[in-house]
Structure 1
Amino acid sequence: MATGRVRNARIRNCPLMQPEIIMKKCRGYFKHACDGEMYVCRWNDNAAVTIASNYHTHFPVKTVKRYSKAEKKHVDITEPNIIRQYNKYMGGVDVMDKVLSSYRPKFRSKKWWWNLFSHALNMAVVAAWKLHMELHTATNNRLSHLQFRREITIHLLHARPFVRSHPGPRSHLPVRLRTSYGHYLQSCAQGRCAVCQRNCRNECVQCRKRLHRNCFPSYHGLA
């Protein structure tokens, strides 16, 4: 026994109404076909949904609540049994696809990697929301999918950007410090000499200034 959603291109010879035609019908309208072994049903919800099964049919037909943008309220629409059974027992991949399609990012880009990045980001948000639902099962603090995304957006808008501080060049040391005892050169990472501004790999251990051997006396007032 199997029930699942199929692409429209996979049932070309099936005598069903075309998706673009059935979408012009009222919401909840459906058409079905059966060859004795396989039953196929195409139902008009927000889009044309095609479900195939070797076990379920459209009977019994019931009603389900759906939000109508035109009437701005929830209305009752017809729901075939095959659709209801599919929604009830759909697997994890189908559940993920359904939730991802609810608030899929609409930004477009010519970058080849953008679709991969936006899809991965969308999956991360959905996974975080599912964890939130699991952790708050026993409480009344669970957020809806939309509320959870809004909380993430608000948090990001309130967050302050991290600014890395870049220390500026040290000011010149007073003459009394440069002329005191204990000044000599040691090896260091390459930098600019404090006197001639050329690359240098020596520094004064007291002043912490890079100096060439020839520039050392003039900087310390010894020349």
Structure 2
Amino acid sequence: MENKAVPRGTYDYVTSDDGILALRWKDNRIVTLLSTDMGAEPMSSVYWYCSDTKRKEQVSCPAVVKSYNANMGGIDKRDKSDMLVHIYCTPMKSKRWYKRMFAYSVDVSLTNAWVFYRWDCKSLSLLDGLSLKKIRIQVFREASSQRPVTSNP
């Protein structure tokens, strides 16, 4: 598929023997998707804004692309996770790669725990959940507190 020679809404796909669909679809740019769950059919039509004509145009869209757009949530989850991790990243400078990796894994773990916490708050209809910053502060305060270790005899 040439980028400019193909009209918008054109697609091409191939399916492997294992049932993996590889699809390329022309939107503003060429989009490549792999799927084991869905196929290209049934085709549907969507309305996208065309910057040349300054209005919405009807464009044909494969089922796998429509499903991806419906479940994506407007932003890639991986990009949102990276954004949340880097908002409050642990300030650690070290020449040892494993120390930076440890700090990053703690940041990712705390961010993922906060995302699950927000899902639980939403399902329980709690409007005033803690922010990511407050959760991180609480966790680090608890981790750094000096409590005596007690052992059961």
- Normalising by structure 2, what TM-score? 0.47
Question: Bigger relative contact order, structure 1 or 2, given CA contacts below 8 A and separation 6+?
Answer: 2
- Normalising by structure 1, what TM-score? 0.33
Structure number with greater Rg is: 1
| Structure 1 or 2: more helix by fraction | 2
